[in-house]
Amino acid sequence: MEIITFSAIKGGVGKTTLAFNYGEWLAKNGKHVLFIDLDHQSNLTQTYNIYDNQDTVGNIFLDRGKVKIHEISAYISLIAGDMHLDDIERTIENKTNKNMFLYMWLSDNYERLNLGKFEYIILDCHPDFSTATKNAVIISNSILSPITPSEHGYNAKFNLEERINELRKEAIDYSTRKSYVTTKLFFIANMIKHNTRSSRELLKALKGDPSVLATVPEKELFNRSTLDKKSLSKMAEDHKTYIDQHEFFDSMDKTFNEISEKL
Ligand SMILES: Nc1ncnc2c1ncn2[C@@H]1O[C@H](COP(=O)(O)OP(=O)(O)OP(=O)(O)O)[C@@H](O)[C@H]1O
Ligand SMILES: [Mg+2]
């Protein structure tokens, strides 16, 4: 099982869009994917038209109640976000094991809920490094963090690196002194425009950096995918509507393939 978290300190950089489209791409390629929505804005959950706030991810952090795994399709399942997750995080703030709730839930429920059938778990986070995000980091094999061409886009990279390193020191097994944080941190340059200074500068700064897995262009179809709740993989199957976009779909197919090979 591969556990991948989409996280960034900065908002609106494409975490949810890339998590959704990458997960859908994996599913299209025959992988069983479980999405876990850790953002109380629940944008990913809403993409699947789930609006009830029952049996959500919140119960993992409350350590009580049912956690429903919504079966969206043969290959995609989802644990819905909770609109009160930020409040729930505050209620567990003083618990010593506050960063271990997801870890414990996974190991406690692995067999009962047959979680082993999922080849991928994809987590989408709120733009911060809160308790929920730390829980995701602790269970992850990889973190994918989008960076965008903007004034502070590049600095956001160091900010996240530093916070993960702090958590690496903090979240240790006290008997062995081993850290629970074993994740690798990767970046995706997102919303890259042709011929703008900020895009050129970002790409120049990232050039040759092995932690940068891919460059994703700014493309209106990503907005469409969010608005229409339709992934690029699904759009690509709809030959009539998106007749001129095949080069773009092929290039994204290649990009996702490269990402999956590098993880
Ligand atoms: N490569 C792209 N080209 C064009 N638009 C994009 C691209 N990536 C994301 N977007 C758009 O940018 C907006 C913000 O994206 P998204 O919601 O995925 O960001 P986020 O990091 O999850 O935000 P938040 O921090 O609020 O959770 C959305 O409207 C989305 O469609
Ligand atoms: Mg989001």
Task: Write the pLDDT tens digit of every residue in 152-199.
Answer: 777 888 999 999 999 999 999 999 999 999 999 999 999 999 989 999
Q: For residue 154, what pLDDT is reported? A: 79
Q: Is the CB of 215 under 6 A from ligand 1?
A: no
Mean pLDDT, residues 209-236: 96
Instruction: Quote the distance between the C-alpha of residue 92 and its chain's center.
Output: 23
Which atom of ligand 1 is the closest one to the Cα of 18? Answer: 18
Ligand nearest to the CA of 12: 1
**Rounded Cα distance, 177 and 169, in Å:** 9
Domains of the chain: 2-255 (3.40.50.300)
Give the angle subtended at the CA of 26 by the CAs of 123 and 183, to the nearest 5°: 40
Residue 191 structure tokens: 């919303």
Q: For residue 152, what pLDDT is reported? A: 73
Query: Does 151 have pLDDT greater than 80?
Result: no
Contact 137, 181 (CB under 8 A): yes
% of the chain surpassing 90 pLDDT: 94
Average pLDDT of the chain to the nearest whole number: 96
pTM of the model: 0.98
Q: Is the CB of 245 under 6 A from ligand 1?
A: no
- Distance (angstroms) between ligand 2 centre and the Cα of 156 equals 16
Could you read off the pLDDT of 49-98 as tens digits, one per residue?
A: 999 899 999 999 999 999 999 999 999 999 999 999 999 999 999 999 99
Could you read off the pLDDT of 109-139 as tens digits, one per residue?
A: 999 999 999 999 999 999 999 999 999 999 9
Give the angle subtended at the CA of 156 by the CAs of 151 and 157, to the nearest 5°: 120
Q: Is the CB of 17 under 6 A from ligand 1?
A: yes
* Strand 76-79 to 120-125 pairing: unpaired
Q: Which residues pair with 36 in a beta bridge?
A: 79, 123
Q: Is the CB of 219 under 6 A from ligand 1?
A: yes
Structural element, H or E, at residue 122: strand 120-125
Query: Ligand 1 atom 25: the closest Cα is on which residue?
Result: 11
Q: For residue 261, what pLDDT is reported? A: 97
Q: Is the CB of 36 under 6 A from ligand 1?
A: no
Mean pLDDT, residues 228-248: 94
Mean pLDDT, residues 232-257: 95
**Rounded Cα distance, 112 and 188, in Å:** 35
Which protein residues have a CB closer than 5 Å to ligand 2 (ion)?
A: 15-16, 43
Which atom of ligand 1 is the closest one to the Cα of 20? Answer: 18
Which atom of ligand 1 is the closest one to the Cα of 223? Answer: 31
Which atom of ligand 1 is the closest one to the Cα of 190? Answer: 1
Q: Is the CB of 191 under 6 A from ligand 1?
A: yes
Q: Is the CB of 10 under 6 A from ligand 1?
A: no
Map tokens 């340059």 to a residue: 189
Q: Is the dihedral of CA 95, 96, 101, 102 positive or negative?
A: positive
Which is nearest to 18 in space by CA: 52, 1, 43, 50? 43
Ligand nearest to the CA of 11: 1
